[in-house]
Amino acid sequence: MHFPLIPDFLFESIYTIDIQRLRARGVKLLLADLDNTLVPYSIKVPTDEVKAWRDKLKEAGITLFILSNSRKPGRAQRFAEALGVPYQGHAGKPKSKGFYQAMERMGVKPQETAIVGDQIFTDIWGGNNAGVTTLMVKPIEFGTIFRVLRYGIETPFRTRGKGGDTL
């Protein structure tokens, strides 16, 4: 296992992930961070683009599962239900418990699971601790000064993963 803060693969966005290559790696479950990975914080319902992406995953035999740390009551639940996918809110990332619970619910093993997210210290660290493939995307928006600073601190780790074209 490599350094836990380094993602396996880097992508511009969820839409640049080669779904067929992901499936060829044996991935059956794609855990996805919600805020700033699938949609900006301010978007409350799935966009048509996210719905189309979910459909492409499903066609490839990959289940999308929202794994969110959102503190907004009901956010992950409402979004996941509107998207028609399973979810786990208050996941506690980077702790691996939420990852293991999601995999157990879906009947898959770590080697059949990947996580896609925009944050090193939650999504990537947690995914690496749980033994799943980690896919890092650029944040959709930076927003607050706190997020800008956090992303700045994460930069040395963000740049160390393999390019998405090597998936």
pLDDT of residue 145: 64
What tens digit of pLDDT does each residue of 13-36 get?
999 999 999 999 999 999 999 999
* pTM of full prediction above 0.85: yes
Phi, psi of 95 (to 5 degrees): -60, 145
pLDDT of 162 strictly over 80: no
pLDDT of residue 58: 98
The alpha carbons of the chain give a radius of gyration, in whole angstroms, of 14
* Closest by CA position to 4, among listed 95, 120, 142: 120
pLDDT of residue 3: 76
Cα gap 22→33, rounded to integer Å: 17
In this prediction, residues 118-135 reach a mean pLDDT of 95
Cα gap 122→108, rounded to integer Å: 21
* Higher pLDDT among residues 128 and 165, named by residue: 128
**Are 88 and 65 spatial neighbours (Cβ–Cβ below 8 Å)?**
yes
**Are 34 and 119 spatial neighbours (Cβ–Cβ below 8 Å)?**
no
* Higher pLDDT among residues 64 and 145, named by residue: 64
Q: Hey, what are 92's tokens?
A: 């506690």
What tens digit of pLDDT does each residue of 49-102 get?
999 999 999 999 999 999 999 888 899 999 999 999 999 988 999 999 999 999
